[in-house]
């Protein structure tokens, strides 16, 4: 039988020692310490960092041809090993906020580790180009955008569709997007990179959602009933935006979101750095808009 005196000694020890590592409690910070924002300066200038990223993890919306949900499994946990370690299974690199590579869409083109990291960062703009169901971002939209798009800009396009990010037909089947003409405009403008707050940078009717063999064949009839046009009349190419941009050395980001509304209409520094995956065709990123504080 354990005496009251021994119980008191153990409780006293537990209050003074962190049992995972036998450290005195006063050596450790508090959980909230890691959550506190800190003033940030880059290159000697005070800046605000705006996170334009949708979260990554179990239960995030998946593109329609994904076969399994993202699954996180603990392989070590506190009670067993004094540390927590998890592995992620059953996910591809093209979900949540992510980038594509040339290899993703064309044989013989560079993989993720072969694309210079500098292409994923630089000066840029976050432009507001509102679009409704099946809207197309056009060269005219880009030409009139504010702030104006300059050579070597990273261009983040806000249609407002990120608000519908979910496991839904609305987000995936009815989204707006870019198509061939807008991609060619960005190439001529010598854009550095581009991102869109939709299911892909390509219009959904220019993706496998509608392109042969279509994942949602019923959309073809619905589009014709609503517009009077055939899908393949208006969208004859499969993912032309991704193909044109990436093969010209212009990275693209898809599913842009997070706090993008806070960056609207701003000229800023933009960074969306991928994992250095050897031979990779894409990667989740943390997409940031960095704005100088006046």
Taking 80 as the threshold, does the pLDDT of residue 23 lie above it?
A: no
Report phi then psi at 22, rounded to 5. 60, 30
Domains observed in the chain: 98-292 (3.50.30.50)
DSSP state of 214: P
> Mean pLDDT throughout 190-194?
98
> Mean pLDDT throughout 13-38?
76
Taking 70 as the threshold, does the pLDDT of residue 11 lie above it?
A: no
Kindly indicate the confidence band of residue 65, based on its pLDDT and cuts at 50, 70 and 90: confident
74, 84 Cβ separation under 8 angstroms = yes
Residue 238 CA to residue 177 CA, distance in Å, equals 13
Taking 80 as the threshold, does the pLDDT of residue 276 lie above it?
A: yes
Identify the residue with better confidence: 245 or 24.
245
Closest listed residue to residue 120, CA positions, set 239, 284, 293, 294: 284
pLDDT of residue 16: 57
pLDDT of residue 91: 81
Q: What is the pLDDT of residues 82-135, one digit of tens each?
A: 889 999 888 888 999 999 999 999 999 999 999 999 999 999 999 999 999 999
147, 171 Cβ separation under 8 angstroms = no
Q: What is the pLDDT of residues 217-256, one digit of tens each?
A: 999 999 999 999 999 999 999 999 999 999 999 999 999 9
What element of type H or E holds 243? helix 240-247
Taking 90 as the threshold, does the pLDDT of residue 24 lie above it?
A: no
């Amino acid at each position: 039988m354990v005496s009251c005196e021994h119980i008191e000694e153990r409780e006293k020890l537990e209050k003074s020692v962190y049992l995972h590592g036998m450290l005195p409690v006063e050596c450790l910070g508090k959980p909230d310490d890691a959550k506190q924002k800190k003033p940030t300066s880059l290159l000697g200038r005070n800046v605000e960092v705006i996170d334009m990223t949708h979260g990554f993890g179990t239960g995030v919306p998946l593109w329609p041809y994904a076969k399994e949900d993202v699954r996180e499994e603990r392989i070590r946990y506190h009670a067993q090993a004094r540390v927590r370690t998890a592995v992620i299974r059953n996910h591809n690199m093209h979900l949540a906020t992510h980038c594509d590579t040339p290899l993703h869409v064309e044989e013989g083109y560079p993989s993720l580790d072969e694309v210079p990291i500098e292409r994923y960062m630089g000066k840029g703009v976050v432009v507001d180009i509102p679009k409704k169901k099946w809207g197309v971002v056009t060269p005219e939209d880009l030409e009139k955008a504010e702030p104006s798009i300059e050579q070597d800009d990273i261009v983040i396009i806000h249609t407002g569709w990120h608000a519908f990010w979910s496991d839904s037909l609305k987000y995936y089947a009815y989204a707006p997007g870019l198509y061939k003409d807008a991609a060619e405009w960005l190439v001529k403008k010598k854009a550095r990179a581009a991102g869109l707050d939709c299911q892909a940078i390509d219009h959904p009717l220019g993706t496998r959602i509608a392109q042969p063999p279509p994942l949602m064949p019923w959309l073809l009839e619905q589009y014709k009933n609503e517009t009077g046009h055939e899908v393949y009349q208006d969208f004859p190419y499969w993912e032309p935006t991704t193909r044109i941009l990436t093969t010209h050395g212009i990275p693209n980001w898809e599913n842009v979101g997070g706090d993008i509304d806070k960056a609207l209409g701003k000229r800023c520094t933009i960074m969306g750095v991928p994992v250095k995956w050897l031979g990779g065709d894409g990667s989740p990123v943390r997409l940031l808009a960095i704005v100088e504080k006046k």
